[in-house]
């Protein structure tokens, strides 16, 4: 086959420098579990960047809550986190120092009433006589087993009352994933949240929805007239959604041994990507209009019974291998992992969306750790032309058109199509037309957490998951988890650094296709 040529898309107008029109009002963010990784790696760098960009109010403050520590220790640790964070690089050091000075710490056990009294005291000191015009954003970055107790205490202590959303003194709560362990526990958690807050106060975060490229999927589909007419079963042959990572379980074994890849990546991130790909156009870009359409897609996914599981899915666990030439250990040898663990670190799943638009189009989802590289993409493969009038040479096959939405890294969109190779013969070759975010706009966009935290402060829930969608997603994934749990025998393995177990290749081959290697 002829090597692909590359054509590039150019920006037609100067759009990149438009100043943002959204800015948060006065508020305080309270992070429970602030000594954890998420605060250091994601939340604080995101807030610092928003602040340095002038998108937070001058009086914005953060209170970290954790078992032990004090203001000074918290500030020191966060200064280090900010200094090494990519998103904050190049910002004004004085602005960063100002941000650091607004960090506070409340030490205490989350199961102890005194912690909440101390937190109230700290909030009083920050809010002073402006309490009636400042929002409070509670972020639960804590193990899910602590959710019920913390939610009850937040409510009963009066720190997080049920209030209507349009008050200046709004109260919102962000819940990190995993939201429940299965459909039943997610419902239970929702019941608890509803007993304390109104749905409009609850923000279930899925950081994938804050990614620039994921949001761009909606723009690509619904701000262009070109794609929508062909975005259906008549023209699309199959969809592949991949989120692969080269990292292993890292230091998260205790969480991952409970979760596995189906709970960690499929129930949330991958199904969210599927809903955005398959949803009908909402009539407005308002939270409920968008979320209604997304939830309908989840409801239309053809149910998988546990008996069907081995036919429509494949799982695997990484064994010893090499990433970029460096030897790495297998999952079972990772610190904190049981030597007999059957937890999958890879899964592939064939889903069907049973509705007028998508009937018969397979959606292949795949995610795994310790794969050859980090890449997340959505690939829409179109049908081949019904009749080909051009002669093909020996062993030449016509490549279908493929539209790839590259979520990360090298964010962008590419379209593969056939062209004539210059010359006296009529010869075909696939080329790739490429739009790259970095080339078109530079690299200074906001991280997913920045987008989502700002949205939450502004009360915009469009990019957050509503209770019914979370439950519907569990409804899709639960039978798959259950199906595999019922099967006895050891879990298949794949070599670290490979594209997954043989069963995953067999799964897609049954549809006459093969996985892309993004
Ligand atoms: C998290 C998962 O939600 O997403 C991790 O818990 C995974 O296991 C991560 O590594 C991937 O996120 P990203 O943004 O790096 O693709």
DSSP string, 470-506: HHHHHHHHHHHHHHHHHS-SPPPEEETTSS--HHHHH
369 CA from centroid of ligand 1 (Å) = 10
Q: Kindly give the number of the ligand 1 atom that is closest to the alpha carbon of 256.
A: 8
Using most ligand atoms within 8 A of CB, pick from 36, 87, 208, 268 the residue to mutate for ligand 1. 208
Six token digits for residue 355: 């509705």
**Ligand 1: which residue has its CA nearest to atom 6?**
264
pLDDT of residue 371: 98
Q: In 3D, which of 489, 507, 26 has the Cα closest to residue 314?
A: 507
| 10-15: Cβ within 8 A, 24+ apart | 10/440, 11/440, 11/441, 15/441
CA distance 131 to 146: 28
Q: How far apart are CA 516 and CA 331, in angstroms?
A: 24
Q: State how far the Cα of 212 lies from the Cα of 416, in Å rounded to an integer.
A: 22
Region of residue 414 (left: phi > 0; alpha: psi -120 to 50; beta: else): beta
Q: Nearest C-alpha to atom 5 of ligand 1 is from which residue?
A: 264
Overall residue count recorded for the chain in this entry: 518
Instruction: Specify the pairing of strand 61-66 against strand 427-436.
Output: unpaired
Q: What is the distance in A from the centroid of ligand 1 to the CA of 208?
A: 9
Tell me the C-alpha distance between 347 and 481, whole Å. 11
Which atom of ligand 1 is nearest the CA belonging to 177?
3
Closest C-alpha to 426, from 399, 390, 389, 385 = 390
Tell me the CA–centroid distance for residue 269 and ligand 1, in Å: 9
Give the whole-angstrom CA distance, residue 322 versus residue 382: 35
The Å distance, Cα 7 to ligand 1 centre, comes to: 32
Q: What is the pLDDT along the chain (518 residues), one digit of tens a residue?
A: 444 555 565 566 555 555 567 899 999 999 999 998 899 999 999 999 999 999 999 999 999 999 999 999 999 999 999 988 887 888 889 999 999 999 999 999 999 999 999 999 999 999 998 888 999 999 999 988 899 999 999 999 999 999 876 788 999 999 998 899 999 999 999 999 999 999 999 999 999 999 989 999 999 999 999 999 999 999 999 999 999 999 999 988 999 999 999 999 999 999 999 999 999 999 999 999 999 999 999 999 999 998 899 999 999 999 999 999 999 999 999 999 999 999 999 999 999 999 999 999 999 999 999 999 999 999 999 999 988 888 777 666 788 999 999 999 989 999 999 999 999 988 888 999 999 988 988 866 788 999 999 999 999 999 999 999 999 999 999 999 999 999 878 899 999 999 999 999 999 999 999 999 99
Q: Which of 269, 387, 446, 505 is the catalytic position?
A: 269
Cα 129 to Cα 279: distance, rounded to the nearest angstrom: 46
Specify whether 49 is catalytic. no
H/E/C letters for each residue in 265-334?
HHHHHHHHHHHHHHCCCCCCCCHHHHHHHHHHHHHHECCCCHHHHHHHEEEEEEECEEECCEEECCHHHC
């Amino acid at each position: 086959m002829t090597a692909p040529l590359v054509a590039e898309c150019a920006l037609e107008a100067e759009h990149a420098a438009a100043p943002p029109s959204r800015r948060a009002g006065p508020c305080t963010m309270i992070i429970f579990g602030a000594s954890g990784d998420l605060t250091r790696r994601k939340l604080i760098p995101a807030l610092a960047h928003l602040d340095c960009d002038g998108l937070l109010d001058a009086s914005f403050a953060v209170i970290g809550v954790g078992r032990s520590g004090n203001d000074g220790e918290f500030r020191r640790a966060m200064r280090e986190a900010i200094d090494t964070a990519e998103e904050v690089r190049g910002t004004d050091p004085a602005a960063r120092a100002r941000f650091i000075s607004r960090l506070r710490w409340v030490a205490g056990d989350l199961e102890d009433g005194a912690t909440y009294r101390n937190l109230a005291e700290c909030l009083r000191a920050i809010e002073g006589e402006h309490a009636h015009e400042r929002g409070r954003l509670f972020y639960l970055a804590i193990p899910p087993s602590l959710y019920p107790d913390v939610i009850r205490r937040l409510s009963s202590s009066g720190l997080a009352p049920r209030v209507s959303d349009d008050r200046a003194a709004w109260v919102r709560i962000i819940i990190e994933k995993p939201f429940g362990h299965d459909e039943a526990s997610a419902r239970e958690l929702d019941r608890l949240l509803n007993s304390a807050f109104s749905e409009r106060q609850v923000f279930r975060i899925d950081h994938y929805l804050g990614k620039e490229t994921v949001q761009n999927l909606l723009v690509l589909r619904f701000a262009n007239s070109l794609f929508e007419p062909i975005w259906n079963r008549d023209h699309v042959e199959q969809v592949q959604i991949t989120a692969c990572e080269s990292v292993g379980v890292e230091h998260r074994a205790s969480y991952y041994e409970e979760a596995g890849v189906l709970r960690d990546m499929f129930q949330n991130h991958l199904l969210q990507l599927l809903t955005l790909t398959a949803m009908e156009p909402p009539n407005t870009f308002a939270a409920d209009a968008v979320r209604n359409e997304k939830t309908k897609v989840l409801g239309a996914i053809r149910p998988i019974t546990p008996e069907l599981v081995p036919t429509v899915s494949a799982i695997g666990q990484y064994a010893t291998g090499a990433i970029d030439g460096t030897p790495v250990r297998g999952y079972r040898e990772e610190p904190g992992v049981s030597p007999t663990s059957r937890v999958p670190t890879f899964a592939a799943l064939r889903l069907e969306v049973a509705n007028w638009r998508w009937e018969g189009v397979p959606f292949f989802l795949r995610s795994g750790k310790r794969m050859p590289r980090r890449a997340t993409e959505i690939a829409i493969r179109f049908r081949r032309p019904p009749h080909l009038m051009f002669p093909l040479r020996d062993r030449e096959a016509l490549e279908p058109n493929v539209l790839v939405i590259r979520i990360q890294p090298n964010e962008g969109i590419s379209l593969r199509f056939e062209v004539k190779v210059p010359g006296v013969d009529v010869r075909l070759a696939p080329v790739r037309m490429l739009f790259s975010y970095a080339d078109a706009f530079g690299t200074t966009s906001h991280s997913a957490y920045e987008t989502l935290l700002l949205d939450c402060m502004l009360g915009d829930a469009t990019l957050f998951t509503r209770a019914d969608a979370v439950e519907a997603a569990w409804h899709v994934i639960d039978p798959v988890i259950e199906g595999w749990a019922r099967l006895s025998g050891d879990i298949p393995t794949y070599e670290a650094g490979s594209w997954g177990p043989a069963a995953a290749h067999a799964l897609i081959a049954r549809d006459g296709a093969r996985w892309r290697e993004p």
